[in-house]
Structure 1
Amino acid sequence: MQAHHSYQINHVYLDKQLAFPEQRTNGQGYYLVFWWKEVALGELFISSDQTLTGKEYLKRLEEIILPTIRFYAKDKPESIKEWQRLLHNQELTEWRKWMESLFASYVADSVPASVPVSVVICTRNRSADLDQCLHNLENLTCVPEEIVVIDNAPTDTSTLQVVQKHNGVRYIMEPRPGLDIARNTGVVNAKAPIVAFVDDDVLVDPLWVYKVWEGFKDPSIAAMTGLVIASDLSTEAQYLFEKWWSFNRGYVDKVYDKAYFEATLNHGPPIWEIGAGANMAFRKSVVEEVGYFDELLDVGAAGCNGDSEMWFRILMRGYTIKYNPRAVVFHKHRKDLKDLNKQMFSYMRGHAAAALIQQSMCKTAGYNRYLFWVLPVWYLKMVVRGFPKYELRYGLLKSEITGLWSGVRYYFNNRSRTKRNNEKLLNQWKEKSQQKLHWYQ
């Protein structure tokens, strides 16, 4: 059995520090996240037995953040060589001037005190996490118009007691269990035109709400996701999740639109790549038009994946979703391997059910081939590769495979409900379309 060493997370702000951070202690590894002021640029794992000289560190730094620099410098690609030269020669004063110029338009000089965004937190019996999350949201540089807590089928009054400690936070008790049921309750009750969701085990960047609101200044954007960075990697379970199942979708903007949907349709659009439900936002009117979250995909039902199934419907209707890495949150992954295995089972159960629901909505989608050929072949190779020890990543295979099979069974046992649900969503969309909603105005 391989020994696991925890990873210390260091946020390295290159506008202040370019040298390698302080040496680790107690046999820890490093997980470095690189920033230029409020813009995240990339990350680097350094294992406990790995050492880097100053030159090696700068070389790795360049390799990691170069794709991000190229994205932000796309209008002046010829300047990249100058950036590399200044870094190699450690002409730090000139290098920082170059970076300052590049990111000037992305670093806010001033922000409004508040923006018209409803932040919705769906929670159940996790009062300690919720308390931290609310305290964090109340002390942002720019605060939302409202914070709404949906207490989902609680077994005690702990959530209510936490909310009562925070002035101005709205409390709504949803007696029916299920994350997507709670999300729908949040959308229905939200007062602002933009509805943003965060998990109760998330802390957000001081400018998160502002960056979410700023993203919707583009009238073509119907929904968005943002960057999710791990807040703790002290256990093996947290490391495994971040290394192979991370919510982090990278450090450059990505657009998912009609062209993306049509280009990937034959293979089954990999909409799970768009982002994570821990950091997502929608125009309220778009959700009302395409239909609310699918409650068949809740934990206790199919498992999860209500967020990605919603993204599928938004794209299928021709709308655009943007991934904005400047809207940053920090997520606390599950610490225990037993809990992680339960999470993987639920994820894959929901993944399979959602894929089949999406196939039933759009007959030309390639999810059947993906689910019944591509994934089985991939998992067969993983089973062979991990034999006989099944350590680290391979130790999750049983939960993932049984989760997939469980999701397929759930779908076929509930096909009639799925058909009725699809018809309901289609009728809602037709009705809204006939009303000629102009959400972009």
Structure 2
Amino acid sequence: MKNHFVSIIIPTYKDWPRLELCLNALKKQSYPQDHFEILVINNAPIEDPLPKKIQLAKNCRLLIEKLPGSYAARNKGLNECKGEIIGFTDSDCIPDLLWIENAVNFFNKFPKYQRMGGGIRIFSKNKLPSFVEWYDYIFAFPQEAYVRSGNAVTANMFAYKEVFRNVGFFNDKLMSGGDYQWGKLANKNGYKIGYAPESFVNHPARSTVSELVKKAKRVGEGQAMFNTTNRGSKYNRSLAYLKLVKPRFWEIKKIFAYYSDGINFLDKFFVVLLRHYITATGDYAKLKYENKK
């Protein structure tokens, strides 16, 4: 089984405590340490430098990117990396100890794929999640569905470097959705993607409504930025928004069909309300941005 040299790219923005947990997990990887490198890209280098208490491993390099945005930071890593295979995760993720090994095994076992989306497992701060955290358990990172549509989120994505050479890098003007846009281009160029749930990272559930709102706004604006379809007048776009905010019964069914120890009827009821609020917030952010055009 071939041991490819792998580059792991991790953008970070004022998130050193969680990044330290991520790096500690990478120090314990089953994959040989001399067969992979870690590139951490600080996206707030002036106001938030690396704390002295964080000791980087020998195979880890710290880069800086002043241009705002995680995709600009990832592009910095792509310019500097040496790996044949490129892996992406986020500073708040904790990779499984077999994460890299299982990703490389996937490519060795299935040579028809040039890209891979790995599993993303949600965990909560407390033993019993709040209804806000349950929201992320149910709706955050449906990676398998993303892969079926030809994409993968960069919380856990691998690809051969040659794909980036031929397709290009991420759109650094986007604050959200750059992985989706890049995935569409990769599909268009014939690069296939597969799903590898055994190559997983652990991602913390968002614990406050404000965190969910912030993400929804960022995603909505990101969708508006790369959506080049003519959607008609502001009036027609507003009518379309009103249609979107009506109850989505399939999502309600999904919430009440969700089973896990600890989630009760009241939690599910609050998740239903939260889902509609978050969805409406994201769609409204998209509408506002489109109306500025």
> Does the pair score TM above 0.5?
yes
- In structure 2, relative to structure 1, the CA distance for the partners of 1:378 and 1:404 (3 Å cut) is closer
In structure 2, C-alpha distance between the alignment counterparts of 1:242 and 1:398, rounded to whole Å: 17
Is 2:210 aligned against 1:338? Answer: yes
In structure 2, C-alpha distance between the alignment counterparts of 1:135 and 1:379, rounded to whole Å: 43
Q: Flag structure 2 segments of 5+ consecutive residues without an equivalent.
A: 231-236, 253-268
Is 2:115 aligned against 1:220? Answer: no
Q: Where does residue 260 of structure 2 map in the other structure?
A: none
Q: Where does residue 121 of structure 2 map in the other structure?
A: 229
In structure 1, C-alpha distance between the alignment counterparts of 2:9 and 2:54, rounded to whole Å: 13
Q: Which amino acid is 1:392 matched to?
A: V
Q: Does structure 1 conserve the Cα–Cα contact (< 8 Å) formed by 2:147 and 2:195?
A: yes
In structure 1, C-alpha distance between the alignment counterparts of 2:84 and 2:155, rounded to whole Å: 19
SS in structure 1 at match of 2:247: helix
State which of 400, 404, 409 in structure 1 corresponds to 2:279: 400
Deviation, structure 1 residue 158:
4.5
Matches within 5 A, 1:163-182: 164-182=55-73
In structure 2, C-alpha distance between the alignment counterparts of 1:317 and 1:375, rounded to whole Å: 33
Q: Does structure 2 conserve the Cα–Cα contact (< 8 Å) formed by 1:131 and 1:162?
A: no
In structure 1, C-alpha distance between the alignment counterparts of 2:279 and 2:146, rounded to whole Å: 28
State the Cα deviation string for residues 291-337 of structure 1 (Å, max 9, x = none).
Answer: 21112221xxxxx1111111111111222111111211111122112
Q: Does structure 1 conserve the Cα–Cα contact (< 8 Å) formed by 2:220 and 2:283?
A: yes
- In structure 2, relative to structure 1, the CA distance for the partners of 1:235 and 1:281 (3 Å cut) is same
SS in structure 1 at match of 2:181: helix
State the Cα deviation string for residues 255-300 of structure 1 (Å, max 9, x = none).
Answer: 75xxxxxxxxxxxxx55xx4322101121221121121112221xx
Q: Where does residue 219 of structure 2 map in the other structure?
A: 347
Q: Which amino acid is 2:140 matched to?
A: S
Q: Which amino acid is 1:229 matched to?
A: R
Q: Which amino acid is 2:246 matched to?
A: L
Q: Where does residue 161 of structure 1 map in the other structure?
A: 52
Deviation, structure 1 residue 172:
0.3
Q: Flag structure 1 segments of 5+ consecutive residues without an equivalent.
A: 1-110, 257-269, 299-303, 361-370, 415-441
TM score, norm. by length of structure 2? 0.78
Structure number with bigger Rg = 1
Q: Which runs of 4+ in 1 moved over 4 A?
A: 253-256, 371-376, 411-414
Q: Where does residue 160 of structure 2 map in the other structure?
A: 283
Q: Does structure 2 conserve the Cα–Cα contact (< 8 Å) formed by 1:122 and 1:199?
A: yes
In structure 2, C-alpha distance between the alignment counterparts of 1:413 and 1:193, rounded to whole Å: 42
- In structure 2, relative to structure 1, the CA distance for the partners of 1:234 and 1:289 (3 Å cut) is same
Deviation, structure 1 residue 382:
4.0
State the Cα deviation string for residues 225-263 of structure 1 (Å, max 9, x = none).
Answer: 1110112262322211111x221435xx9975xxxxxxx
Matches within 5 A, 1:89-128: 115-128=4-17
Q: Where does residue 198 of structure 1 map in the other structure?
A: 89
Q: Which amino acid is 1:224 matched to?
A: M
State which of 228, 235, 242 in structure 1 corresponds to 2:137: 242
Matches within 5 A, 1:27-426: 115-142=4-31, 143=33, 144-159=35-50, 161=52, 164-217=55-108, 218-232=110-124, 234-243=129-138, 245-250=139-144, 256=148, 270=149, 274-298=151-175, 304-354=176-226, 356-357=227-228, 359=229, 377-382=243-248, 391-410=270-289, 413=292
Q: Higher relative contact order by CA 8 Å / sep ≥ 6: 1 or 2?
A: 2
Q: Which amino acid is 1:346 matched to?
A: R
Q: Does structure 2 conserve the Cα–Cα contact (< 8 Å) formed by 1:248 and 1:275?
A: no
In structure 2, C-alpha distance between the alignment counterparts of 1:234 and 1:167, rounded to whole Å: 37
CA-atom RMSD, angstroms? 3.1
TM score, norm. by length of structure 1? 0.54
- In structure 2, relative to structure 1, the CA distance for the partners of 1:115 and 1:231 (3 Å cut) is farther
Q: Which amino acid is 1:135 matched to?
A: N
- In structure 2, relative to structure 1, the CA distance for the partners of 1:160 and 1:171 (3 Å cut) is farther
In structure 2, C-alpha distance between the alignment counterparts of 1:223 and 1:373, rounded to whole Å: 39
State the Cα deviation string for residues 80-134 of structure 1 (Å, max 9, x = none).
Answer: xxxxxxxxxxxxxxxxxxxxxxxxxxxxxxx88x641101110011111111110
- In structure 2, relative to structure 1, the CA distance for the partners of 1:396 and 1:349 (3 Å cut) is farther
Deviation, structure 1 residue 352:
4.0
